[in-house]
Amino acid sequence: MTGSRPDHKPPASHSSARCRTAKRQTAELAAMFHAYVEALHPLVSDLVRSGLSHEATAAALNRRGIPCWGRDRWTTALVRTVLRQRP
């Protein structure tokens, strides 16, 4: 008996409750991201349409202090993501 431990698994109802919570949190984050993209898309697309490259657009957003989703600073990849993710 030494060295052996029975497996301690949480009840199925507890696991499914955690799964539902994780799915709800994921859905909430997705909704917040879509709202963020919806709010910033006009500004980002106007900057690009005015002739700025994606790199210059990222620099302009950083200079203006526009917050970036999940990052400290805007990058060209994030500018492309906002332009591409528009619902």
- Residue-level pLDDT at 2: 55
**Do the Cβ atoms of 57 and 79 come closer than 8 Å?**
yes
C-alpha to C-alpha distance for 45 and 18, rounded to whole angstroms: 39
Q: Quick: pLDDT tens for 13-50.
A: 566 878 888 788 888 888 998 899 999 999 999 999 99
More confidently predicted of 15 and 52: 52
pTM: 0.69
Helices (H), the chain: 12-49, 54-64, 76-84
Q: What is the dihedral of CA 71, 72, 75, 79, to 10 degrees?
A: 60
